[in-house]
């Protein structure tokens, strides 16, 4: 579905991404594992078109991706790490979820409320959440709002950038289970960025390990866990799951 | 021995009262590591700040006793507590980026603690500060560097050097590795444990991360909504309470 070919990105003299290439198949959940500064989020931003790449190509279903059109947001969406800063504190939950539907003119105004209520129930929030403000919600609930908002435009590809790392463990599991279910129900494709191998193991089929802007490992999760080919991956597994 | 007896710390907000710590008791011996576990908002950090008497308005310690070798810390004057804080009782915090003063060198900051509590000359304090840096495996020649010149893991080592510079009896470590990468976490944890063996302090290790607690601690207290849910060393192998069991199950589901 998505093909990334030889992506390079520098910030000044700092080489953040050095020749990154990989593919994601439709319906796959690919984990992107790396420590802080490895280049994970930069890669996510480039795939989304939020920042330009220096060189390299991105293909969607065989065609180069055109980031100049707004419609690209109907295909790619992102869930951010921090559910506290990623929602506007002055906008009601229901309106936050409905806003992308309005902007992309997906439904007429009078149909939006019903759609938002469907999305709320899809992420297991209740109708009453429509009129609440972000500060009235817990971290886990806010993250569900983020997911509902991302899904409102009917994307096929979600980038999950550390979606559970600021949450308590029991809430992490609830959200990961929700993400798994949504993927199956809606036939989504995931790129899950995490520094925690356990989170990737819980949800992904395949994992890419990135160190200092380079891919050092790309294989099935089970395979990487049992017999990592790279020394750095081995260190990450020992530190992260030992 | 450090004993916290029926401690209650409340926060007054508008017309409501939040019981951050509610009738909470535990003890810790020197040389031992006690894990204080709980999810966010359970009151772990408020316990830590109460022990150091760092609770300020709108919070207040309303009842209980905190006894260090039999002496109730809560009864000490402000002047007396200053002599204990940083000396007999010491603390390291979660965020090594905001817990060092950016405008002073790390040498200034470590030596300040030493000269304050041990009444040493400037030269002597700096010599000891260098010794402490060596202990936390930072090149002592970097003593005149500023915090921004160090990585997160190294800053946490500087914090550890500062906290241990006066040979405390007890160290409170509040999520000391949460902000660090996993490969760095391991080095910092090992360093803390090695120094504990060498110096013999007791440690209250506060974390929401059960996996790390299991590795580091001898005994555990599980907190929920300010109250003690379960105490002992059986928490991971044979949790007694449904809440503890739920948390341990979550950990096993994710990390097994």
**Structural domains in chain B plus CATH codes:** 2-254 (3.40.50.300)
Domain harbouring A219, CATH code: 3.40.50.300
Could A169 and B181 be called an inter-chain contact, meaning their C-beta atoms sit closer than 8 Å?
no
Whether B87 contacts B80, CB under 8 Å: no
* Rounded Cα–Cα distance for residues B231 and B35 (Å): 10
- What share of chain A in percent tops pLDDT 90? 78
pLDDT given at position B108: 95
Mean predicted confidence (pLDDT) in B163-170: 95
> B51-85, pLDDT tens digit by residue?
999 999 899 999 999 999 999 999 999 999 999 99
Mean predicted confidence (pLDDT) in B163-174: 95
Domain limits for position A47:
2-238
pLDDT given at position B223: 96
Mean predicted confidence (pLDDT) in B181-202: 93
pLDDT given at position A169: 87
Say yes or no to pLDDT of B133 above 80: yes
Tell which wins on pLDDT, B50 or A232.
Answer: B50
* Rounded Cα–Cα distance for residues B84 and A106 (Å): 64
Q: Beta-carbon neighbour count of residue A26 at 10 Å?
A: 12
Could A236 and B185 be called an inter-chain contact, meaning their C-beta atoms sit closer than 8 Å?
no
Could B183 and A236 be called an inter-chain contact, meaning their C-beta atoms sit closer than 8 Å?
yes
Each of the 242 residues of chain A gets a pLDDT tens digit; together they read 999 999 999 999 999 999 999 999 999 999 999 988 899 999 999 999 999 999 999 999 999 999 888 889 999 999 988 877 889 999 999 999 999 999 999 999 999 999 999 999 999 999 999 999 999 998 899 999 999 999 999 999 999 999 998 888 889 999 999 999 999 999 999 999 998 889 999 999 999 999 999 999 999 999 998 888 888 888 888 887 76
Could B183 and A239 be called an inter-chain contact, meaning their C-beta atoms sit closer than 8 Å?
yes
SS3 of residue A213 by DSSP: coil
pLDDT given at position B123: 94
Tell which wins on pLDDT, A83 or B208.
Answer: B208
Residue A35 distance to chain B (closest CA, Å): 6
Q: Of chain A residues 5-34, which have a CB less than 8 A from chain B?
A: none
* Rounded Cα–Cα distance for residues B240 and B228 (Å): 13
CB-based contact, A76 to chain B, within 8 Å: no
pLDDT given at position B201: 97
Mean predicted confidence (pLDDT) in B207-232: 94
> A3-58, pLDDT tens digit by residue?
999 999 999 999 999 999 999 999 999 999 998 889 999 999 999 999 999 999 99
Q: Residue A169: which of B152, B182, B250 has the nearest Cβ?
A: B250
Mean predicted confidence (pLDDT) in B238-253: 92
ipTM: 0.72
Query: B-chain residues within 8 Å CB-CB of A36?
Result: 152, 181
Mean predicted confidence (pLDDT) in B110-129: 93
Total of domains in chain A = 1
Q: Is B129 exposed, middle or buried (0-12, 13-18, 19+ CB in 10 A)?
A: buried
Max Cα–Cα distance, chain A, nearest Å: 57
Could A202 and B254 be called an inter-chain contact, meaning their C-beta atoms sit closer than 8 Å?
yes
> Rounded to 5 degrees, what angle do the CA atoms B89, B93, B99 make?
105
Q: Is A105 exposed, middle or buried (0-12, 13-18, 19+ CB in 10 A)?
A: exposed
Return the axis-axis angle of helices A139-151 and A93-103, rounded to nearest 10°.
20
For all residues of chain B together, what is the average pLDDT?
93
pLDDT given at position A242: 62
How many helices and strands, by DSSP H and E, does chain B display?
A: 8, 10
- Positive or negative, the CA dihedral B237, B240, B241, B242 is positive
Whether B134 contacts B166, CB under 8 Å: no
pLDDT given at position A241: 73
Could B250 and A240 be called an inter-chain contact, meaning their C-beta atoms sit closer than 8 Å?
no
DSSP per-residue codes, B82-121 = HHHBTTTEEEE-S-TTTSS-TTS-HHHHHHHHHHHHH---
Query: DSSP H helical segments within A153-211, as ranges?
Result: 169-186, 197-203
* Rounded Cα–Cα distance for residues A121 and A114 (Å): 11
- Positive or negative, the CA dihedral B73, B76, B78, B83 is negative
Q: Of chain A residues 109-128, which have a CB less than 8 A from chain B?
A: none
Could A170 and B185 be called an inter-chain contact, meaning their C-beta atoms sit closer than 8 Å?
no
Say yes or no to pLDDT of B178 above 90: no
Which of B147, B179, B177 lies closest to A36 in space, CA to CA? B179
The length of chain B is 256
Minimum Cα–Cα distance from B210: chain A residue: A169
- What share of chain B in percent tops pLDDT 70? 100
Mean predicted confidence (pLDDT) in B197-208: 95
Mean predicted confidence (pLDDT) in B122-149: 95
Q: What are phi and psi of B103, to 5 degrees?
A: -95, 0
């Amino acid at each position: 579905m998505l093909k990334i070919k030889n992506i390079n990105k520098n910030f000044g003299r700092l080489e953040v991404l050095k020749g990154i290439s990989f593919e994601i198949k439709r319906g796959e959940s690919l984990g992107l594992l790396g420590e802080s500064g490895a280049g994970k989020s930069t890669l996510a931003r480039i795939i989304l078109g939020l920042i330009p790449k220096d060189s390299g190509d991105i293909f969607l279903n065989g065609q180069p991706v055109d980031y100049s059109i707004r419609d690209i947001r109907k295909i790619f969406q992102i869930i951010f790490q921090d559910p506290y800063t990623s929602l506007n504190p002055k906008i009601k939950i229901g309106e936050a979820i409905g806003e992308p539907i309005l902007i992309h003119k997906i439904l007429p105004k009078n149909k939006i409320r019903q759609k938002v209520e469907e999305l709320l129930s899809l992420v297991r929030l209740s109708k009453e959440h429509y009129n609440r403000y972000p500060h009235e919600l817990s971290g886990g609930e806010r993250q569900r709002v983020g997911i509902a908002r991302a899904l409102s435009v009917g994307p096929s590809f979600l980038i999950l950038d550390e979606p559970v790392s600021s949450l308590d463990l029991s809430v992490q599991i609830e959200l990961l289970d929700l993400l798994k279910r949504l993927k199956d129900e809606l036939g989504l494709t995931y790129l899950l960025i995490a520094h925690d191998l356990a989170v990737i193991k819980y949800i992904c089929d395949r994992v890419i390990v990135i160190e200092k802007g380079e891919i050092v490992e790309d294989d099935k999760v089970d395979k990487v866990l049992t017999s990592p080919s790279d020394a750095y991956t081995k260190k990450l597994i020992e530190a992260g799951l030992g | 021995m450090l004993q916290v007896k029926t401690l209650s710390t409340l926060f007054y907000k508008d017309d409501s009262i939040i019981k951050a710590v509610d009738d909470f008791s535990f003890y810790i011996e020197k040389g031992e590591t006690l894990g204080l576990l709980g999810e966010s908002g359970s009151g772990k950090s408020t316990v830590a700040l109460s022990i150091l008497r760092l609770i300020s308005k709108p919070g207040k310690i309303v009842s209980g006793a905190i006894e260090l070798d039999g002496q109730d810390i809560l009864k000490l004057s402000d002047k007396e507590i200053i002599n204990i804080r940083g000396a007999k009782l010491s603390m390291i915090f979660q965020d090594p980026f905001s817990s060092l003063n950016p405008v002073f060198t790390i040498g200034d900051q470590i030596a300040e603690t030493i000269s304050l509590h041990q009444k040493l000359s400037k030269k002597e304090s700096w010599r000891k500060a260098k010794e402490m840096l060596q202990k936390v495996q930072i090149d002592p020649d970097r003593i005149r560097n500023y915090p921004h010149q160090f990585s997160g893991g190294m800053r946490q080592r500087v914090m550890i050097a500062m906290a241990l510079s006066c040979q405390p009896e007890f160290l409170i470590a509040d999520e000391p590795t949460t902000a660090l990468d996993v490969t760095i976490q391991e080095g910092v944890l090992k360093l803390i444990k090695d120094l504990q063996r060498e110096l013999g302090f007791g440690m209250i290790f506060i974390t929401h991360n059960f996996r790390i607690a299991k590795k580091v601690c001898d005994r555990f207290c599980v907190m929920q909504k300010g109250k003690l849910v379960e105490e002992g060393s059986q928490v991971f192998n044979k949790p007694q309470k449904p809440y503890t069991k739920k948390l341990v199950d979550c950990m096993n589901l994710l990390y097994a």
